[in-house]
């Protein structure tokens, strides 16, 4: 009886056809490929964790499929149905193990469920701690990222709001050099009432440590700065770039559209000086990021130096001018894709321009270009198929494994079953 129940649940865990057969080659047809540059009329062949080949649609695809089948290779065909085949999105700011707590212990936010990240089109995330670096810890964050890392690609910022922030080993340099996931420091708070008000000298020492360790480890060694609403704006960062020869691209300020026009203006100066800025994507009742993107596109801003992030599973506290908490919420990973969809659907942005913020741009600033943000033959098979009409995720693949189909999504082990499909979301061979 138990065995039967086990077999039954194991079957229910499988993705729907054509994915219920192990191995082989997957070919995605009838899609429009963005590498993110537009590749016309190509099918995408995936094998193992890599993209095998882009092949012309029609006869060339049919003959390769026939040849593979003749060689007894299992070929799984996915119909993109006119949708866009784009690189899996990268979100550089996810509170994967929860965060928040600004309204007391009961307001600590939940951990990220795997399936919610997948539905948001993400195949790579960078996890981090925020305000609370006491009850939230680096060990817990790293373990959570390693767990998610069974299915998607996970990286980590070391530190948190405070300076010096908590580390995994003896310090920032050792963590970047010795822990594979750690690519830099963040989110270090400046110009915010919740920061530890670090001196310029303290910030400089940390930026310098991150840069040197990055050079030694072949990583970006970037410091991501949480920027608050104080009128000091980006001046702590200007101090570093004005006083030293550290490249401006080693510093990545975030939330720059969320604090009003003065910070947006300073961010534009930063952009014109060659710096990158990260914009927190708008939640339902906001449009600051949308408005800034539309206006920067009209100005001479360099959009290739802009990235978007979700702040997912972080709290969204709202303080009034007296510092009183007047609102509270939790971030969703969907906001990034929703901003991209809004640009495409409502503002007619070409798809390659709308997706750059979470593909090439973020891969460039975070030093991930060989691992994420592009589609290329021989490159990682991390891609999503966006629906032709809604631009929501129909299919997702990371390292060549299917994570989502139109009727199924991979779930973490203890996520509740999906009512719609009655599937639990774990591949049978992993139980």
Question: Is 311 among the residues known to form the active site?
Answer: yes
| Least distance to ligand NAG, CB of residue 346, Å | 4
| Least distance to ligand NAG, CB of residue 241, Å | 7
Task: Give the Cα separation of 322 and 343 in Å (integer).
Answer: 35
| Least distance to ligand NAG, CB of residue 414, Å | 31
Residues at the interface with ligand NAG (CB under 6 A): 40-41, 57-58, 235, 238-239, 242, 287, 290-291, 338, 341-342, 345-346
| Residue number with the smallest Cβ distance to ligand NAG | 342
Please give the sequence-ordered ranges of beta strands (E in DSSP) within 167-322, or none if there are none. 182-190, 222-227, 251-254, 277-280, 306-309, 318-319
Give 158 or 316: the residue with its C-beta nearer to ligand NAG: 316
Give 161 or 238: the residue with its C-beta nearer to ligand NAG: 238
Cα-Cα end-to-end distance for the chain: 18
Give 235 or 249: the residue with its C-beta nearer to ligand NAG: 235
Give 69 or 272: the residue with its C-beta nearer to ligand NAG: 272
The answer to whether 217 and 256 are in contact (CB under 8 A) is no
Tell me how crowded residue 105 is: count the other CB atoms within 10 A of its CB. Answer: 7
Report in angstroms the alpha-carbon separations of 105 from 81, 137, 151, 259, 352: 47, 15, 31, 26, 42
SS percent in the chain: helix, strand, coil, step 5 = 30, 25, 45
Identified catalytic residue from 209, 311, 382, 394: 311
The continuous run of DSSP H or E covering 270 comes out as helix 261-272
| Least distance to ligand NAG, CB of residue 272, Å | 10
| Least distance to ligand NAG, CB of residue 285, Å | 9
The answer to whether 293 and 308 are in contact (CB under 8 A) is no
The answer to whether 237 and 207 are in contact (CB under 8 A) is no
Q: Look up residue 152 and give its two tokens.
A: 């998607």
Eight-class DSSP state of 124: E
Give me the active site residues, please.
Answer: 311
């Amino acid at each position: 009886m138990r065995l039967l129940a086990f077999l039954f649940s194991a079957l229910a865990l499988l993705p729907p056809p054509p994915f219920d057969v192990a191995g082989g080659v997957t070919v995605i047809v009838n899609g429009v490929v963005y590498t993110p540059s537009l590749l016309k009329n190509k099918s995408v062949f995936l094998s193992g964790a890599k993209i095998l080949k882009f092949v012309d649609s029609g006869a060339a695809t049919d003959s390769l499929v026939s040849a593979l089948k003749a060689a007894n290779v299992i070929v799984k065909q996915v119909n993109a149905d006119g949708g866009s085949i784009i690189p899996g999105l990268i979100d550089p700011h996810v509170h994967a193990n929860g965060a928040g707590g600004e309204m007391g212990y009961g307001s600590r936010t939940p951990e990220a469920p795997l399936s919610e990240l997948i539905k948001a089109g993400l195949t790579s995330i960078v996890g981090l701690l925020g305000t609370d670096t006491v009850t939230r810890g680096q060990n817990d964050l790293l373990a959570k990222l390693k767990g998610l890392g069974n299915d998607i690609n996970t990286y980590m910022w070391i530190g948190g709001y405070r300076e010096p922030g908590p580390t995994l080993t003896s310090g920032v340099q050792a963590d970047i050099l010795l822990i594979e996931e750690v690519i830099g420091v963040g989110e270090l708070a400046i110009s915010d009432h919740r920061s530890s008000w670090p001196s310029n000298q303290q910030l400089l020492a940390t930026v310098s440590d991150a840069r040197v360790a990055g050079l030694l480890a072949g990583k970006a060694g970037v410091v991501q700065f949480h920027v608050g609403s104080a009128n000091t704006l980006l001046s702590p960062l200007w101090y570093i770039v004005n006083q030293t020869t550290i490249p401006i691209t080693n510093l990545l300020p975030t939330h720059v559209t969320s604090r009003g026009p003065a910070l947006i203006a300073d961010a534009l100066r930063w952009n014109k000086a060659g710096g990158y800025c990260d914009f927190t994507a708008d939640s339902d009742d906001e449009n600051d990021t949308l408005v800034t993107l539309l206006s920067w596109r009209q100005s001479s801003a360099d959009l290739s130096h802009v990235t978007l992030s979700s702040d997912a599973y972080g709290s969204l506290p709202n303080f009034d001018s007296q510092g009183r908490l007047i609102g509270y919420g939790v971030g969703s990973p969907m906001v990034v894709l929703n901003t991209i969809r809004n640009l495409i659907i409502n503002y007619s942005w070409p798809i390659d321009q709308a997706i750059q913020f979470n593909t090439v741009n973020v891969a460039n600033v975070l030093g991930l270009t060989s691992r994420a943000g592009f589609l290329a033959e021989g490159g990682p098979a991390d891609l999503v198929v966006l629906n032709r009409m809604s631009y929501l995720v129909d299919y997702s693949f990371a390292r060549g494994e299917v994570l989502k189909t139109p009727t199924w999504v991979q779930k973490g082990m203890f996520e509740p079953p999906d009512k719609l499909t009655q599937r639990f979301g774990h591949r049978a061979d992993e139980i």
